Structure 1
Amino acid sequence: MTSYQELSQSEAQQLAHAHIIQSDAEALEIARALAEQFKHHAVQRDAERLLPFEEIEAYSQSGLWAMTVPKQYGGAEVSSYTVAQVIALMSGVDGSIGQIPQNHFYGLEILRNTGTEQQKQKLYAEVLKGARFGNALAEFKTKNAAQKQTAISPVDGGFIVNGEKFYCTGSLFAHRIPTLVKDEHGREFLVFIPRQSEGLELVDDWSGFGQRTTGSGTVKFNHVFVEADDVIPFDAAYSQPTISGPFAQIMHAAIETGIAHAAFEETLIRVRQARPWIDSGVDKATDDPLTLFELGRIVADVRASEVLLKQAARSIDAAKPQPTAENIAKASIDVAKVRAHSTETALKASSKLIELAGSRGSQREDGLDRFWRNARVHTLHDASRWKYYFIANHLLNGVLPPRRGTL
């Protein structure tokens, strides 16, 4: 267990002027190049739990962490599908790197919906320069995930935050930590707390067997002062129709779809190297009829997840200009479909990779198990069984799905 007060071994760096992306096409081009770069040492990072500080710095300086900033504030405002494709690409080469910016983009979406003009100008400008936002949303010690105990209280000149958060993905790499708090009246706010704030402690105690380098540990707040300008309404993003919920969820679906796609591509490589089963009567594993059967099933599922991902993103983007209860419900249901499907596909594809590679696929130095471990841990974010329930309840009974970031 390690406490962190800086972004790396050295003193926290001043924000550099990051590249500013101009279009969806440029975002995808940069993402493809970075994904190739991040492939290097991915197995080692996972095996030795080497936190990817250099990779995340390159990722944010590339301009990709600012790609959702609205055009009127100087960003590219890329589509939800482009965001999903970028996250899927990164997740395919390193599941942790794929997940780290998820709540950064989520925080920017809450800002777009409920922030003041002054707050938008301030925080968007920081992100365009290369600032990274982590998160402190979930809590570990409450009876269920919906309950929150971290509190915000007014004082002269601002507010005080006290509490403790867990699963704080990306916070070890962040310049600000958007923190979900409640006031004395039960209202929820998102507080964009600078990571160097006095009384804020980051603890690197994430011990999950997958997604090992996401930095998803504990953040403690001991009488942390925050300025009023850093406090943004959170509950308002869900009391009215917004894309906040489906947008948060499609990024999770993209992580799983990316892992599934990469696991399948790796399976093709390993099957070409494998020996056929002794009862197959063929000389090459690529001619083994039952191996081909399994490969056919996997590629169909992977492709289906990719199509569902695109369909869900299109629904989000269609609802974004003028959100209503109906079009947000459609977007949420479409996202629920891909979340449920991608959960099962990522687990199946990553497991079949090892099965079809044969006993040699279990060798530690190859790290093939990381695909399954990453998929298994990430898919615990939400229960796919409840997604199927919301889909069917909407289809059969016309019941609109709940508005929240965990549908």
Structure 2
Amino acid sequence: MKVKKKKQLNFLDKFLLGISVLLGLSLLISYLAPITDPQKFWPIAFFGLAYPLLLLANLIVTVYWLLRRSKCILVPLLCILVGWGVLRDNFGFRFSESVTDAVEPNSSLVLMTYNAHSFKRYGEKNDSTTRHQMLELINDQRPDIIGIQEFYTKNRGQYALKDSMKQIMGSDACYFEPFNFDKKGEAMGIAIFSKYPIINKGSILLSEQGSGNQCIYVDVKKNAQTFRFYSIHLQSIRFEPDDYDYLAKFSQKGDADITSSKRIGGKLKRAFMKRSEQVFKIKNHAKHCPYPYIIAGDFNDTPSSYAVNQMAKGLKNAFREKGSGFARTYNGSFPNYQIDYIMVSPVINVTNYHIVQKKLSDHYPVCSKLQLQ
């Protein structure tokens, strides 16, 4: 009886096995990002940011070893499966959006969050066509309550958007906190508009005065139920046009510049650390909330980040509950991932979640249908 010889790895296989091990280790390190505070050890946060790319690279080598019918497939495959929870935060394993029709109208709530970028396209000046399309989009979604980051308005004229939003909502219930304003009557900040009465409101200072990275909240009464809605805008990376130009050139030609890379890395590091601090401010405030609450807005961070995962502790993530596919809420240059979220108290049920894929602002609006208990 002949003994079957073990299949020997050729040079290419040995090289790719080494690559597989490195990619697998990098992916494993990325799983530490959601639980590692950037204020204590910031390098891990960069692995979390790279998670989608690391996952894709590990999938590619998995396919390679599958075609080779090699046991080496276990290296990338096990590394992917170890991070099943992180994968579920990034990818919804549903073929379509799940909608629950048997929700009592009196307890249902359609919520929307939208970074409107001053009601203009990214990097461009205000134009009436974009403003009209964005207002039309909001009207089509028929939200009961909406939080808008980078909300821009004037006292009068076609850009008196506070008045336009009240008209769409059919209600005067709103709270607008301007963080930048001038004597011409122009103002920008965070706004919340509601179809139902607002019985209390306030703000949490997350950053320096004049910065748009802040948090506001309202207590809303719907029939006999009261809930709180926090609309947040966590720390921005604050890339300049030069940074975006460099990233575009690097992605196209692969030309790396040490000075530019350091500058971008420094901005990312500062933003990671600042968001960590801001999340705890919001969570500490929410601890004392006497009502079920919703936290939604522009987190400026990915599902594999420390900030997002700390905020989600003890809450339901609407995407994880009802989302499908690989979510993308930012349509700008970087980071082109899911960075806008809706999170709710455990007593609130999520019955629907969807992203409106229409390029107007640099963010896509996110909507969710909720059921208040």
Where on the TM-score scale, by shorter chain, does this alignment land: which range?
A: under 0.3
Of structures 1 and 2, the one scoring higher in RCO (CA 8 A, sep 6+) is: 2
- Greater radius of gyration (CA): 2
Structure number with the higher strand fraction is 2
Query: Could you state the TM-score of these two structures normalised by the residue count of structure 2?
Result: 0.26
User: What TM-score comes out, normalization by structure 1 length?
Assistant: 0.24
Structure ranking higher in helix proportion = 1
